[in-house]
């Protein structure tokens, strides 16, 4: 007798299975040596052959298992959904880390229903670290059998993470933002992979994260992890071409929003 699991759990199980297979391929290609395929918005914005190969693997698995679902990925054409579910995929998030051999890269897969902020299921897999973060809406966020929870406020200040875009023209503004936020911080991290930054907020390894200019595939899966771990994720300045993501526990999210709203 098959048990009809809630759709979010079914999607989560598929996302986990595909993320593991895709992550293994990325790790294998990394060990063999990374080939640059092209540059995109700037010379610093690279795509490797592995990015494209991993996304093709993910897409073929989803087409086989979930025909009719939509697809929004970093490296290939979008596909409309006829089922109400769309997969939002970054095949290798942290591409520059990947190209340099820095282990902080991951496969990020989210199944969303409606807006990208409304993910039903998520899997963020860091194959070089063999850590898979996952969540289904209403089912909590997990790292293996460890249930994840965001941190509470710390009188020592917040351990924050952020990131910078590939366009050098945006760096001054982003650094000004960092300067405004630092009075809330005990220290700052810049790890180069948004989905891992979000997964670490969910896991309590970071207190908060903020970054401008992310694409849906950078935050769709990690955003669900944070929400299912008791955190708050918001997107502000959405009218601009570089909206800001803010993710933290509720109290810190409020303080970060106050500071970051002042610059908008």
* Residues within the interface to ligand LIP (CB under 6 A): 74, 90, 93-95, 163-166, 192-194, 211, 218
Question: CA torsion angle for 3, 7, 12, 14 (degrees, to 10)?
Answer: 70
Angle between helix axes 49-65 and 7-32 (nearest 10 degrees) is 150
Which CB atom, from 40 or from 139, has the smaller least distance to ligand LIP? 40
List C-alpha distances in Å: 258 to 152, 202, 236.
18, 21, 11
* Least spacing, CB of residue 56 vs ligand LIP, in Å: 16
Which CB atom, from 13 or from 237, has the smaller least distance to ligand LIP? 237
Which CB atom, from 143 or from 194, has the smaller least distance to ligand LIP? 194
Which CB atom, from 8 or from 244, has the smaller least distance to ligand LIP? 244
How many residues does this entry show for the chain? 264
* Least spacing, CB of residue 98 vs ligand LIP, in Å: 8
* Least spacing, CB of residue 222 vs ligand LIP, in Å: 9
Query: What is d(CA 93, CA 127) in angstroms, rounded to the nearest whole number?
Result: 12
Q: Which phi and psi angles does 254 have, rounded to 5°? A: -65, -45
* Least spacing, CB of residue 75 vs ligand LIP, in Å: 9
* Least spacing, CB of residue 41 vs ligand LIP, in Å: 10
Which CB atom, from 70 or from 192, has the smaller least distance to ligand LIP? 192
**CA-based nearest residue to 104, from 192, 16, 214:** 192
3-state class of 20 per DSSP?
helix
* Least spacing, CB of residue 82 vs ligand LIP, in Å: 27
Q: Scan for tokens 């693997």, then name that residue.
A: 57
Which CB atom, from 192 or from 231, has the smaller least distance to ligand LIP? 192
SS3 readout for 95-132? HHHHHHCCCCCEEEEEEECCCCCCEEEEEEEECCCCEE
Q: Which residue is nearest to ligand LIP (CB)?
A: 163
């Amino acid at each position: 007798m098959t048990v009809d699991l809630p759709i979010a759990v079914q999607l989560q199980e598929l996302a986990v299975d595909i993320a593991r297979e895709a992550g293994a391929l990325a790790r294998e290609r990394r060990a063999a040596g990374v080939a640059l395929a092209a540059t995109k918005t700037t010379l610093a914005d690279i795509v490797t052959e592995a990015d494209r190969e991993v996304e093709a693997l993910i897409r073929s698995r989803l087409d086989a298992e979930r025909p009719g679902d939509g697809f929004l990925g970093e490296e290939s054409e979008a596909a409309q959904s006829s089922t109400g579910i769309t997969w939002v995929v970054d095949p290798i998030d942290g591409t520059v880390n990947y190209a340099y051999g820095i282990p902080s890269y991951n496969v990020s897969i989210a199944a969303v229903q409606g807006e990208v902020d409304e993910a039903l299921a998520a899997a963020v897999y860091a194959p070089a670290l063999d850590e898979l973060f996952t969540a289904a809406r209403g089912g909590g966020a997990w790292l293996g059998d460890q249930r994840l929870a965001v941190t509470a406020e710390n009188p020592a200040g917040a351990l924050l993470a952020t990131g910078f875009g590939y366009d050098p023209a945006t760096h001054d503004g982003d650094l000004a933002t960092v300067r405004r936020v630092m009075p809330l911080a005990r220290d700052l991290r810049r790890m180069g992979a948004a989905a891992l930054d979000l997964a670490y907020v969910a896991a309590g390894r970071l207190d908060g994260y903020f970054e401008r200019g992310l694409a849906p595939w950078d935050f769709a899966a990690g955003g669900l992890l944070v929400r299912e771990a008791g955190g708050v994720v918001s997107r502000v300045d959405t009218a601009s071409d570089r909206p800001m993501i803010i993710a933290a526990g509720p109290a810190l999210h409020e303080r970060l929003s106050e500071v970051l709203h002042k610059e908008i």
